[in-house]
Structure 1
């Protein structure tokens, strides 16, 4: 009787690449499907080509938003603790070893798929979906009058409130500045509320638990989920966390790949 293990062909880097792309892109398609069936549509938080300044600005801000994540990981890796050492040994995992054999472009494609797919699902759909469920009606971070002209950086969220406040001060409305702490807390209470706060927390925790590589990795990924969620709440522009997520993943994979090849 033939050995079943010997009949199975070992997975190749190319097949792993295809699987990773399908899974990560599938998460994005799942988010769009869930939005179509139950709402909200996560694509509403992504600027269209007709909103090119907001789209391009989201890409630029997303690239900048990557650096705090890189700094966080650099600090964590300096901590002398077994859990941190376990993170550093992830490259020795067979699946990760296969992935690190891929080229820089393939690693970038996987990272882009992860950024788009996971952010559409967790920040674009799950977070506002939980808020809407608790609130009893659809929740949005976009201005009521989406067609109204506003700066490229004020697609929605707190940024749109700031833009509105600046315009109000220019016309002498006399309202409290949204840039003040009282203005921010007032906006949060009125526009975000406890419903979106719970959605933010719950979706971030869920994001951590779908990355069960180690306890520390779950915790770190959960913190990243809070960060990505905050980016969306503050900007209303899902392109920012998408790019930050994708670029962070790409940099980490490129670094790990270079280290693995230098040690080979």
Structure 2
């Protein structure tokens, strides 16, 4: 296995800190754009239900991609396995839930809470949705294909925010957090299985 570029002992704390820092970025950009990142965030039982249900298609796609042997997809799996696996495999599922929740909250506040409405106000709903998620994809450019998949996922999350009678940021936050959590669990299980099969890794 490739040498891990970041100290695995520090990865979890640094990942949590980095993701949490995005909330400050959202607040700063919101201040510049005169947009409150929390403006569309409010508790709603239907929003939580929509979020849980809305996670299913994304995680199903994740499981399908795990079975596809195409080189570009295998590369994504390899990169994520070798970067996230060593840093997360020793952690309890509750720790993974914390990281996933922080990532879901912070990234949605930044991209769907500030950047999307900011661009929508200047370019219109459709262009704002697409442009904000091109940025979202570029921010997740682990590989070119992964950037495209992230951008498409971002569009899905942006549309989910408007599902129902009112715009509610809670829907994409739930989808994003729950999807990340399930993906972390799947990756950690695979990494632990690999270590058991080959303790030298």
Give the TM-score taking structure 2 as reference length. 0.86
Matched, 1:46 2:41: yes
| Count of residue pairs brought into register by the alignment | 188
Alignment partner, residue 58 of structure 1: 47
Correspondence for 1:232: 161
Aligned to 1:180: none
Structure-1 residue corresponding to 2:86 = 97
Q: Distance in 2 between matches of 1:203 and 1:23?
A: 20
For residues 190-212 of structure 1, the C-alpha deviation after alignment (integer angstroms, 9 at most, x for no partner) is xxxxx111110001111111112
Cα distance in structure 2, aligned partners of 1:92 and 1:33 = 33
Contact conserved, 1:91 with 1:260, CA < 8 A, in 2? no
Which residue does the alignment assign to 1:197? 126
- Of 247-256 and 15-24, deviating more is 15-24
1:152-231 matches, within 5 Å, as: 195-231=124-160
- Measured at CA, do residues 230 and 94 of structure 1 come closer, stay the same or move farther in structure 2, by a change above 3 Å? closer
Aligned: 1:248 with 2:172: no
Q: Which moved more, 1:75-84 or 1:233-242?
A: 75-84
Runs ≥4 in structure 1, deviation > 6 angstroms?
none
CA contact (8 A) 1:91 1:97 kept: no
What is the CA-CA distance between 1:119 and the residue it aligns to? 0.4
How far apart are the structure 1 equivalents of 2:81 and 2:62? 19
Corresponding residue for residue 30 of structure 1? 25
Partner of 1:258: 189
Q: What 5-or-longer segments of structure 1 have no aligned partner? A: 1-9, 135-194
Is residue 89–residue 191 contact of structure 2 (8 Å, CA) maintained in 1? yes
Tell me: CA distance 1:234–1:90, structure 2 relative to 1, closer, same or farther (3 Å).
Answer: same
For residues 86-121 of structure 1, what are the alpha-carbon distances to aligned partners after superposition, in whole Å with 9 as ceiling and x for unaligned?
122135424542223322111111111110000000
Q: Which has the larger radius of gyration?
A: 1
1 CA distance for matches of 2:66 and 2:158?
A: 24
Root-mean-square deviation (CA), in Å? 1.7
Q: In the alignment, what sits opposite 2:3?
A: none
- Superposition TM-score, scaled by structure 1 size: 0.67
Q: Helix, strand or coil for the counterpart of 1:93?
A: helix
Change beyond 3 A, Cα 1:43–1:91 = closer
1:100–1:253 CA contact under 8 A, matched in 2? no
| Contiguous gaps of at least 5 residues in structure 2 | 1-5, 196-201
Question: Do the aligned residues in 2 keep the contact of 1:24 with 1:117 (CA within 8 Å)?
Answer: yes
Which whole-Å CA distance do the structure 1 matches of 2:36 and 2:121 have between them? 12
Partner deviation per Cα, 1:205-263 (whole Å, 9 max, x = no partner):
11111112112211111110010000113340100000100000000001111111122
